[in-house]
């Protein structure tokens, strides 16, 4: 009698979303020095939007296509930014008190870059595939802006997750990706992943040297500006 075939492990969209949520919590908790958590419930949504007060988006492609949107309330944006600056040893006199400050957008943009970067490493480690990300575009906005990249995705699935800061300030993550499943055919040894502590340590060195890396690379400005113009921004 033939031995039964081992049941394959399947990873769907929601399990990929958990990987992303874990990256968000790990990076922001390390950066702020305070615990960041996400809801056990997730919403299915039909469109992704940038919403007030501080929002960003990141596109990724490769093994699968997708979009990550973060929407911060003013209080959540300011708390995470200020906690991060204090954690980096910045004096209070140099910490902005307005969520509309360029400094807030720059810091949250860099943290978003780190969150999605950590996620891409998890994808490489756990899903054995490769994705690349665009530079985050972070901005303070006063009205809702719909982001649509449906044509780049195969039957897109969209989700919204609620996150909370240590003082219960709320922010949201919206996620869209191809409808797909990853099926594990055989066991494999996971590759070594990036250490969030190393990323934050490098950020601290950059700030100490007063030469922070630019959020958007100069050679990418034209492409980003064209994309933003197509959104009416």
Q: What is the dihedral of CA 68, 74, 76, 78, to 10 degrees?
A: 110
Q: Kindly state whether residue 190 falls inside one of the protein's structural domains.
A: no
pLDDT of residue 209: 58
pLDDT of residue 145: 86
pLDDT of residue 199: 54
**Do 109 and 84 touch, CB atoms closer than 8 A?**
no
Write the CA distances from 100 to 7, 85, 139, 189, 196, integer angstroms: 52, 16, 8, 45, 27
pLDDT of residue 200: 56
Q: Kindly state whether residue 65 falls inside one of the protein's structural domains.
A: yes
Q: Count of domains in the chain?
A: 1
CATH number for 64: 3.40.1550.10
Token couple for 70: 């973060």
The residue range of the domain holding 122 is 24-185
What pLDDT tens digit does each residue of the chain (233 aa) get? 444 444 568 999 999 999 999 999 999 999 999 999 999 999 999 999 999 999 999 999 999 999 999 999 999 999 999 999 999 999 999 999 999 999 999 999 999 999 999 999 999 999 999 999 999 989 898 888 887 655 578 888 999 999 999 999 999 999 999 988 999 888 766 555 555 556 556 555 665 555 444 444 444 455 555 555 555 55
């Amino acid at each position: 009698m033939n031995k039964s075939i081992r049941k394959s492990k399947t990873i769907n969209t929601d399990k990929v979303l958990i990987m992303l949520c874990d990256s968000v919590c790990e990076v922001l908790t390390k950066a702020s020095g305070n615990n960041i958590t996400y809801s056990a419930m997730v919403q299915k949504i039909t469109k992704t939007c940038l919403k007030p007060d501080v929002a960003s988006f990141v596109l990724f492609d490769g093994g699968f296509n997708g979009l990550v949107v973060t929407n911060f309330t003013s209080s959540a944006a300011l708390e995470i930014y200020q906690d991060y600056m204090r954690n980096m040893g910045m004096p209070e006199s140099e910490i902005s008190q307005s969520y509309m400050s360029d400094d807030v957008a720059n810091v949250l943009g860099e943290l978003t870059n780190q969150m999605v970067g950590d996620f891409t490493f998890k994808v490489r480690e756990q899903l054995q595939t490769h994705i690349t990300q665009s530079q985050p575009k972070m901005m303070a906005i006063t009205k809702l802006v719909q982001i649509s990249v449906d044509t780049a995705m195969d039957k897109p699935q969209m989700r919204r997750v609620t996150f909370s800061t240590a003082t219960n300030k709320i922010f949201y993550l919206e996620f869209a990706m191809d409808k797909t499943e990853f099926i594990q055919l055989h066991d494999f040894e996971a590759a070594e992943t990036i250490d969030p502590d190393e990323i934050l340590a490098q950020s601290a060195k950059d700030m100490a040297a007063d030469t922070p890396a630019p959020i958007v690379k100069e050679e990418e400005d034209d492409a980003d500006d064209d994309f933003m113009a197509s959104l009416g921004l």
